[in-house]
Amino acid sequence: MNPQIEQKIGARIRTLREQAGLTQEQVTAQLQVRGCDITRSALAKIEVGQRHLYPDEILLLKEILHTTLDEIFKL
């Protein structure tokens, strides 16, 4: 994937997380409860575009952040 696009999507996820009033720790805890093996550090890397997102992570983030795929991928 294009690094610039990954950075924009990561920044978008951070914005949505902050709008939801959640910390990285809270989001990763909810991801882990739903079966996604991810750390807070990995989420931080996603938010700055240093780590790829997997499809299952995207779908779970959509649920946790109470948003849509369109909002996540809004560039």
pLDDT number for residue 65: 98
CB 44 within 8 A of CB 38: no
Q: Is the pLDDT of residue 1 over 80?
A: no
What is the rounded CA–CA span in Å between residue 20 and residue 37? 22
Q: Which residues contact 36 (CB under 8 A, 6 or more apart)?
A: 56, 57, 60
pLDDT in tens, 14-70: 999 999 999 999 999 999 999 999 999 999 999 999 999 999 999 999 999 999 999
Hey, where are the domains in the chain?
A: 3-68
Report residue 71 as tokens: 């909002």
Q: Does domain 3-68 have CATH number 1.20.1050.10?
A: no
